[in-house]
Structure 1
Amino acid sequence: MTTLNLDDFSDLIERPDGGVRRDAEERRGRLAVPPGALGRLDELAEWLAAAQGRVPVKPIERPRVVLFAADHGIAAGGVSGRPAGSAHELVRGVLDGTSPVAILAERFGAGVRVVDAGLDCDPALLPEDVVRHRVRRGSGRIDVEDALTAEEAEAALRLGIRIADEEADSGTDLVVLGDISVGGTTVAATLVAALCGTDASVVTGRGGLPIDDLAWMRKCAAIRDSLRRARPVLGDQTALLAAVGGADVAAITGFLLQSAVRRTPVILDGVVSAACGLVAQRAAFRAPDWWLAGQGSGEPGQAKALDRMALNPVLDHGVTVGEGTGALLALPLVQAAAALAAELPVKAPPGGSGERAAGEPPADRKTD
């Protein structure tokens, strides 16, 4: 097996079709509803049209929630509101349909896929189709040791690439991406601070299950110590993920890069997916054009990362539960934007009658 070089993705990833986006903007100007009246829905529809490479935009028919799960060794340092090694309990809630993301996904008609990249539990506790992808059990404590070996980091990246290919091949037309982890926000904040050149206190938040002031100070200290280990390997994304990442973080990074290669649009959730996006952007600067920021989670590290990638969250409702929930809430807005762009009637020409936008000839503009 050849060594994976993330820099190769820079040549593989193209931007969404700018010509199609201009056509979508022009077509929007011909709709009966005045320009600007639909607010950001117009922008979402144009982004989606460019990603699909066609005007009029197609409805979202096969959305999918993809969640990468893992436990992070840093949680043993008292930086999380949940016990170390307990992420499998969150996974069970998703699989049983009792978690917020599972309930909303069923309501919104989105399938849910959970991928165990590095949970710290007996594999027998979860279904085979979840645990069969596991790269390793848990990860190293990043303030004092590497999260992964170099070989494990590459294996996790390849896992994400493989899952992205599987989703694209199965017809998924929009991915809602999230993580299920304990200690993940500490890892994500470390990556954001390292890649943005900021101090630990600037990126340290309270996590999905809010922590008290003492735990926050422990978290700051852990990120500060982890940054000392991250800075020497900033020039090598795979080495960075091995040093201060984790199996889920590396897998999400690979997933984001390959989804951009496969022209699959992705909605990002919280600080973990945003941090992975920063790593992916370092490898391929065009990749963020294929992503939407679903929500602002309130984590300062996420805000820093999204600003660096020039992504503006669709929603800002203070949802901190994680597991892709906040991003999933943005899905109905994207679906609404596509429906309105495709089905609103166009203006009637002088002396003529209007027509349904959806009835325009498919030859408007379409590319594969």
Structure 2
Amino acid sequence: MSLFPLSALSELDVLADKLPVFDHAAADLAKSRQDQLTKPPGSLGRLEDLAIFMAGWQRRERPHIRKAQALVFAGNHGVCAQGVNPFPQSVTAQMVANYEHGGAAINQLCRANGAELSAVALDLDTPTADFTQAPAMTEAETLDALNRGAAAVDPEADVLILGEMGIGNSTIAAALAAALFGGEVGDWVGRGTGSDDAGVMRKISAISRGLERHKGLSAKHILAALGGREQAAICGAVLAARMYRIPVLLDGFICTASAAPLHGVDPALLAHCLVGHVSVEPGHRKLLAALDKQPILNFDMRLGEGTGAALSLGILRSALECHNGMATFAEAGVDGAEEPAVSAQ
């Protein structure tokens, strides 16, 4: 039965008990297969872990990726009134058009790694409220974006890549992370799309004022008070993917911070999520530590729009090719299933 559309943010509090969980029996079968393949046990490192992760969420010993879906959610932000963005908000819609015409980096990486890309523009002509002055979104606005994100997920997908676009949303990401996990605001703030030192200070000032105005909120209300439509849509997509048992590849700092309010509601809500890469935005490593997530790649990227997640899809596909395509010792007629004769190099 579908859990969407949600009609109140309070419903998030009980979702963890209603959504599917990791299938340890399927994962154990996948682990057993890994131990019989023609290699020393554990010699493929994280490729083995990724295959077992996929097995547990797809509930099959031999998981597959026949259909990979990529979604880029786009929104605009009222906090841009505080001078936190070096580019005008018109760029958000222009970049959505670029995605639709196939001209962005995410288009090339999705094509190279076999993912079907869709860009979802979320009321770009109506930015959220300036969170230094008021909550960024009402509960109704938050739910609308969350439900639209959920509705965009293809139930037939085998893996979901998530990304975002929105001028000003590196400020949103830092605000969410600081509100959820604390610490010095400056430790969460980076240069985003190219802020100079004065721009970074404006971001820190705006976030500090927003945190003071909206202190003491629960994680779900932090999403509404400090987040944006694309952040809420990412949360909705993450939850819908979980409902369909679809593993998720999150992108960099902004995308990971977008999903972080779900961790604040219940850490189990992100159990089916992998992080495609670690961004060079300074807050991302700190955020990954708080979420207890290990990125797949470290390529010094900070573009956003799902690019790091799309690139990591190639690694995930490689993990499954080895898991499903390699012969066992018995199948290959190789001695050593009991006593491996091949040394790890």
Query: TM-score normalised to the size of structure 1?
Result: 0.85
Distance 2:183 2:219 in 1: 19
User: Within 2, Cα distance between the matches of 1:69 and 1:301?
Assistant: 21
* CA–CA distance in structure 2, aligned partners of residues 176 and 48 of structure 1: 14
User: Percent identity among equivalent residues?
Assistant: 32
Number of corresponding residues: 329
Contact 1:178 1:324 in 2 (8 A): yes
Shift of 1:191: 0.7
Provide the rounded CA distance (Å) in 1 between the counterparts of 2:215 and 2:280: 26
Q: What's the CA shift for 1:236? A: 5.3
**Is the Cα–Cα contact under 8 Å of residues 72 and 85 in structure 1 kept in the other structure?**
no
Counterpart residue number, 2:163? 178
The alignment status of 1:43 with 2:49, answered yes or no, reads: yes
* Secondary structure at 1:54 match in 2: coil
Structure 2 letter corresponding to 1:311: K
1:192 partnered with 2:177: yes
1:87 matched to 2:76? The reply is: no
> 1:285 & 1:297 partners in 2: Cα distance?
22
Give the partner amino acid of 2:279: S
1:155 aligns with 2:128: no
* Alpha-carbon separation, structure 2, partners of 1:224 and 1:178: 26
Residue 286 (1) aligns with residue 268 (2): yes
Cα root mean square deviation, aligned: 1.9
Encode CA deviations 1:33-89: one digit per residue, 9 max, x unaligned: 22232221111111111111111222x111011011011122232222322342011
Letter in 1 for 2:164: D
Q: Which residue of 1 aligns with 2:333?
A: 353
Deviations along 1:216-259, one digit per CA (max 9) or x if unpaired, are: 111111111111123232x251x322211111111111211221
In the alignment, which residue of structure 2 is the partner of 1:140?
129
Counterpart CA distance in 1 for 2:270 and 2:139 is 25
1:65 to 62, 70, 91: 70
The answer to whether the 8 Å contact 1:73/1:84 transfers is no
AA aligned opposite 2:148? L
Q: Give ranges in structure 2 of 5+ residues lacking alignment.
A: 1-5, 335-345
Question: 1:317–1:2: structure 2 CA closer, same or farther, 3 Å change rule?
Answer: closer
After superposition, the Cα gap between the structure-2 partners of 1:202 and 1:236, relative to the gap in structure 1 and judged at 3 Å, is closer
Q: Aligned residue for 2:39? A: 33
Deviation at 1:284, TM superposition (A): 3.2
Structure 1, 211-220 or 145-154: larger mean CA deviation: 145-154
Say whether the 8 Å CA contact 2:297–2:312 is kept in structure 1: yes
SS in 2 for 1:294: strand
- The answer to whether the Cα contact below 8 Å between 1:160 and 1:255 also exists between their aligned partners in 2 is yes
TM-score (norm 2): 0.90
Q: Point out where structure 1 has 5 or more consecutive residues left out of the alignment.
A: 121-136, 355-368
Alignment of 1:18 onto 2:7:
no
1:2 Cα offset (Å): 4.3
> 2: CA distance between counterparts of 1:34 and 1:229?
56
